[in-house]
Amino acid sequence: MYNPMRFSWWRNFPLFFFLLVGASQVPAVGLSPLLHVFTPLPSSGLNQRPCLPTPNKELLDDNILKFAATTITNEQYGMPGWTRGQGSRFHKGVDIQPVQVERGRGTVRIDYYDAKAGRGFYRREPVLIPKDEIYSILDGTVVVANNNEKRSGYGRYVMIEHRFENGSRFVSMYAHLNELTVSEGTPVKAGQRIGWMGGSSSKAGARNYLKAIPHCHFEVGRVIDQNFAGTRRARALYPPMLGGKYDPRNIQPYNPVEFLQTYRAVPRPAVLAANLD
Ligand SMILES: [Zn+2]
């Protein structure tokens, strides 16, 4: 029988190994399977053309490898839908590459896995600091403006609520920002600057990675459970729930690349830059 007084660290080594290495890869128990599949876009459209979320316009030329972040071993790295952690995590967003970076100080060690050779290796890579602005894709209202990097693996992020033509609501999310320029409850216009790209995350590993492969994690989705905030499941979340029903773990994703392409996203018009910043 299990006796907590005689708990042996050595006998429980597999447990500790799991907690150290595996736990961060396992989805929280009880979270919706809807988080692991893209939901089809509704037949009802939008009543305005969306703007691209950053100055990166490569998507308009179908140049996806210059729009989404890539690594030396995985050119699909920043794409939506691929799984990380040996298939246990579903990438809900698209990681958009910056178009303006400054060289930071020093280098950072990045661990890679060579799938062909079946072995891991590491490289020291230059530190890159992204300088891109981040824009709201549509008119909407800021529902989450998280300025506390430690509260989420997404770091400092903004979530904005919008409406489809038929009135149903959905959200867009812009993560790992350096700085936010809007606050919760603020109405925003399509193309309005809402912050600056950065490398924030509560997870040291993610911050490290973002130094070498900077990007904005951009997501579009809809609230799964309107009463999420009151559920036991939500109260048991770790890191703790953030934004009530707008917690990212209660957002079922649309494919963000498909979203921008279907609704024919345009670059942020120059006139907006003059009026909204
Ligand atoms: Zn991402």
Answer yes or no: is 50 within a domain. Answer: yes
Please tell me the distance from the alpha carbon of residue 27 to that of residue 93, in angstroms, as a whole number: 16
Q: How far is the CA of 154 from the centre of ligand 1 (A)?
A: 8
Q: How far is the CA of 277 from the centre of ligand 1 (A)?
A: 26
In angstroms, the Cα distances linking 112 to 105, 109, 169, 231, 259 are 22, 10, 39, 39, 31
Q: How far is the CA of 36 from the centre of ligand 1 (A)?
A: 14
Owning domain of residue 120: 28-276
Per residue in 97-125, pLDDT (tens digit) is 999 999 999 999 999 988 788 899 999 99
Answer yes or no: is 231 within a domain. Answer: yes
Please tell me the distance from the alpha carbon of residue 169 to that of residue 252, in angstroms, as a whole number: 12
Cα angle: 13, vertex 14, 16; to 5 degrees: 65
Q: How far is the CA of 160 from the centre of ligand 1 (A)?
A: 17
Name, in order, each residue with C-beta under 8 angstroms of 5's C-beta and a sequence gap of 6 or more.
Answer: none
Q: Which residue has the tokens 């972040």?
A: 69
Residue 190 tokens, joined: 């399509």
Q: How far is the CA of 96 from the centre of ligand 1 (A)?
A: 8
- Which CATH number belongs to the domain containing residue 64 in this structure? 2.70.70.10
The reported pTM is 0.86
Q: How far is the CA of 95 from the centre of ligand 1 (A)?
A: 5
Please tell me the distance from the alpha carbon of residue 181 to that of residue 236, in angstroms, as a whole number: 31
Least reliable range by pLDDT among 32-36, 195-199, 258-262: 32-36
Answer yes or no: is 156 within a domain. Answer: yes
Name, in order, each residue with C-beta under 8 angstroms of 71's C-beta and a sequence gap of 6 or more.
Answer: 77, 110, 112, 213
Q: Which H/E stretch holds residue 273?
A: helix 270-276
pLDDT over 50 at 4, yes or no: no
Cα angle: 218, vertex 137, 220; to 5 degrees: 40
Please tell me the distance from the alpha carbon of residue 260 to that of residue 253, in angstroms, as a whole number: 13
Answer yes or no: is 16 within a domain. Answer: no
pLDDT band at 277 (very low <50, low <70, confident <90, very high): low
pLDDT at res. 36: 80
Answer yes or no: is 19 within a domain. Answer: no
Name, in order, each residue with C-beta under 8 angstroms of 1's C-beta and a sequence gap of 6 or more.
Answer: none
Answer yes or no: is 271 within a domain. Answer: yes
Structural domains of the chain, count: 1
pLDDT over 70 at 264, yes or no: yes
Average pLDDT of 256-275? 86
Answer yes or no: is 14 within a domain. Answer: no
Answer yes or no: is 170 within a domain. Answer: yes
Residue 20 tokens, joined: 């150290």
